[in-house]
């Protein structure tokens, strides 16, 4: 494994592979590497096996399909050395497809890594962190009963125990996305999301975190609905979306502003299907009495499609005129904008 930080131990856990993994591992000659083979026990168990076999004071993880960028360990280890109060540091992840081509490099994240923020979502890529082992000795390792969200569960336990976390605005890992990846996970993710939250709120938690419980579960229902829409499980999606609004009516304030923002984030997630296809699934399968949500989603999609055109050249307008047309269809009143009319004329007539 190539890294600008050369002093590391590499524990490879072959979790009952049935492919060419043993042959590939055997072809690598590196004294820093140890190989452990075990019957298939799942992701959490494999990571825990690696943790038990390792001894370094700083630990990280690498799933089979992902890879570290060359300076990952150096960047994160340097940060921890300079910030002894921080227990976990996370870097940025870029998304790649099955061939290794970059799909998306999200802008640097500046979200605070703490409670209650991490109760609402898990923005941390497990392969993009570096963690002080002492914190695992305090809170334990990955929960092997969870089939998903096991990393989120660990982050929440660390935070509840007092572990401070921080971001480094630097790309450190490439996360591989496979077609249909999120579509196939709907039921498993829904169960894991609520199991993780139930587990957290079943313990003694601070009053200010407990006050967020309704809002946290409401947004979790939005996430569950998004997974269901991706999997074409529309009855479940509609139930979850309707329940999210009952649990937290503020999601409907200002023409569903917060709910639209959450769903649009899903639409543009590189792991999901094309944004307009995801949107179509929602607007054609909305909960009863919430048809206006579809109107707001269409308008938000139109804005997302059209705004970049104002920053691009005329050549781009012609190359991207399909997206320009989609934006007009989603939000026809863009036709009242002179700038948009100029784009249309240039894209189709070359004027």
SS (H, E, C) 154-208: HHHHHHHCCCCEEEEEEEEEEEECCCCCCHHHHHHHHHHHHHHHHHHHCCCCCHH
Which pLDDT score is estimated for 214? Answer: 95
Q: What is the pLDDT confidence band of residue 86, given thresholds at 50, 70 and 90?
A: very high
> Mean pLDDT throughout 96-119?
80
pLDDT reported for residue 183? 62
- Output 152 or 307, whichever has higher pLDDT: 152
pLDDT computed for residue 301 by the predictor: 84
Model pLDDT for residues 41-58, shown as the tens digit of each residue: 888 999 999 999 999 999
Tokens describing residue 174:
């490439």
Gap between the Cα atoms of 275 and 321, Å rounded: 16
Nearest to 288 by CA among 251, 234, 247, 250: 234
Judged against a pLDDT cut of 80, whether residue 307 lies above it is answered with no
User: Mean per-residue pLDDT for 298-321?
Assistant: 76
Indicate the average pLDDT of the chain: 88
Domains and CATH numbers, the chain: 10-178 (3.90.550.10), 184-257+272-292 (no CATH)
Lowest mean pLDDT among 68-72, 115-119, 139-143: 115-119
Higher pLDDT, 63 or 178: 63
């Amino acid at each position: 494994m190539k890294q600008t930080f050369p002093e590391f131990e590499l524990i490879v856990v072959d979790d009952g592979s049935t492919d060419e993994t043993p042959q590939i591992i055997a072809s690598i000659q590196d004294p820093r590497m140890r190989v452990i083979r075990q019957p298939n026990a799942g992701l959490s168990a494999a990571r825990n096996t690696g943790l038990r076999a390792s001894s370094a004071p700083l630990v990280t993880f690498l799933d089979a399909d992902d890879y570290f960028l060359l300076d990952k360990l150096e960047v994160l280890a340097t940060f921890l050395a300079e910030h002894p109060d921080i227990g976990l540091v996370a870097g940025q992840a870029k998304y790649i497809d099955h061939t290794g081509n970059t799909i998306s490099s999200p802008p640097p994240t500046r979200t605070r890594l703490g409670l209650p923020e991490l109760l609402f979502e898990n923005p941390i890529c497990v392969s993009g962190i570096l963690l002080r082992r002492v914190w695992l000795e305090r809170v334990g390792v990955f929960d092997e009963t969870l089939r998903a969200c096991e990393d989120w569960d660990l982050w929440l336990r660390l935070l509840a125990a007092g572990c401070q976390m921080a971001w480094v605005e630097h790309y450190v890992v490439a996360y591989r996305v496979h077609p249909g990846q999120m579509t196939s996970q709907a039921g498993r993710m829904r169960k894991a999301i609520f199991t993780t939250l139930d587990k957290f709120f079943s313990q003694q938690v601070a009053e200010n975190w407990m006050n967020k419980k309704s809002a946290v579960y409401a947004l979790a229902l939005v996430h569950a609905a998004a997974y269901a829409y991706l999997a074409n499980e529309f009855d479940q999606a509609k139930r979850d979306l309707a329940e999210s609004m009952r649990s937290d009516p503020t999601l409907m304030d200002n023409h569903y502003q917060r709910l639209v923002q959450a769903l649009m984030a899903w639409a543009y997630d590189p792991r999901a299907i094309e944004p307009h296809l995801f949107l179509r699934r929602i607007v054609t399968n909305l909960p009863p009495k919430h048809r206006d949500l579809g109107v707001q989603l269409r308008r938000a999609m139109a804005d997302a499609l059209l705004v970049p055109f104002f920053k691009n050249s005329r050549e781009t307008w012609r190359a991207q005129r399909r997206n320009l047309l989609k934006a007009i269809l989603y939000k026809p009143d863009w036709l009242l904008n002179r700038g948009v009319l100029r784009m249309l004329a240039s894209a189709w007539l070359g004027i």
